[in-house]
């Protein structure tokens, strides 16, 4: 559970650290990379859940996460391609990837109900953090109106994911 909150802290604080270092918020290229990375990490976590879980509710949730996050990422790739923007790796996206790798390894060691509970708890924390980063940093700092609109659409979807994950976590207790 502690590593779940490490990932949450990394995502919540890294854009602020990047902004302080640059005396400005993240650029659109950095925002695109952060958003895409977060989406891909959740697709990867969902795939892990689909490999490990036998719980029908957890599997259905993981399928939803994989489908929705892959769809938003496809829209993001289409947008940056059309805008000729190259997403830029940055300390936030790097830290996200490193934290997700640690979480993957921790979850890989679990089985059955312990895996299900840890996966869903991580999804709750991850969506809380992503939603906070989207609303507090990424959307306000996005300059391109189309990128901002895509992030706002993603926020609405990911807020519903958070509620779904919270309900699923309660049902697993």
Q: Give the contacts of 62 (CB within 8 A, at least 6 positions apart).
A: 45, 46, 47, 49, 50, 53, 119
Please state at what angle helix 56-83 crosses helix 28-52, rounded to 10 degrees.
Answer: 150
pTM metric for this prediction: 0.86
pLDDT (0 to 100) of residue 11: 52
**What is the average pLDDT across 90-114?**
95
| Side-chain-side CA neighbours of residue 24 (13 Å) | 8
Q: Give the contacts of 173 (CB within 8 A, at least 6 positions apart).
A: 117
Residue 2 has pLDDT above 60, yes or no: no
Question: Helix-strand-coil percent breakdown of the chain, rounded to 5?
Answer: 85, 0, 15
Residue range 2-172 forms a domain whose CATH class is mainly alpha
pLDDT tens digits, one per residue of 50-87? 999 999 999 999 999 999 999 999 999 999 999 999 99
Cβ-defined contacts of 61-68 (< 8 Å, 24+): 61/120, 61/123, 61/164, 61/165, 61/168, 62/119, 64/161, 64/164, 65/123, 65/161, 68/157, 68/161
Q: CA of 83: how far to CAs of 33, 95, 109, in Å?
A: 14, 26, 42
pLDDT tens digits, one per residue of 4-60? 444 454 455 455 444 444 457 899 999 999 999 999 999 999 999 999 999 999 999
pLDDT (0 to 100) of residue 5: 43
Q: How many helices and strands in the chain, by DSSP H and E?
A: 7, 0
Residue 138 has pLDDT above 60, yes or no: yes
Q: Given the structure tokens 């700092």, which residue do they identify?
A: 141
Q: What percent of the chain has pLDDT over 90?
A: 85
CA gap 133, 116 in Å, rounded? 25
Annotated domain spans of the chain: 2-172
pLDDT tens digits, one per residue of 151-160? 999 999 999 9
Q: Are 129 and 8 in contact (CB under 8 A)?
A: yes
Residue 103 has pLDDT above 50, yes or no: yes
CA gap 30, 80 in Å, rounded? 12
pLDDT (0 to 100) of residue 24: 76
């Amino acid at each position: 559970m502690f590593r779940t909150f490490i990932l949450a802290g990394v995502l919540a604080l890294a854009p602020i650290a990047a902004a302080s270092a640059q005396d400005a918020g993240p650029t659109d290229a950095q925002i695109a990379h952060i958003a895409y990375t977060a989406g891909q990490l959740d697709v990867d976590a969902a795939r892990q859940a689909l490999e490990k879980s036998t719980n029908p509710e957890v599997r259905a949730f993981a399928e939803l996460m994989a489908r929705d996050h892959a769809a938003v990422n496809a829209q993001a790739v289409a947008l940056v391609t059309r805008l000729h923007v190259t997403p830029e790796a940055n300390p936030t996206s790097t830290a996200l990837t490193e934290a997700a790798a640690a979480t993957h390894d921790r979850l890989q060691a679990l089985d059955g109900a312990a895996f299900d509970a840890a996966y869903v708890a991580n999804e709750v924390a991850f969506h809380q953090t992503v939603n906070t980063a989207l609303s507090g940093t990424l959307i306000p700092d996005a300059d391109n109106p189309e990128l901002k609109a895509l992030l706002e659409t993603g926020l609405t979807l990911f807020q519903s994911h958070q509620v779904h994950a919270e309900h699923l976590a309660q049902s697993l207790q």
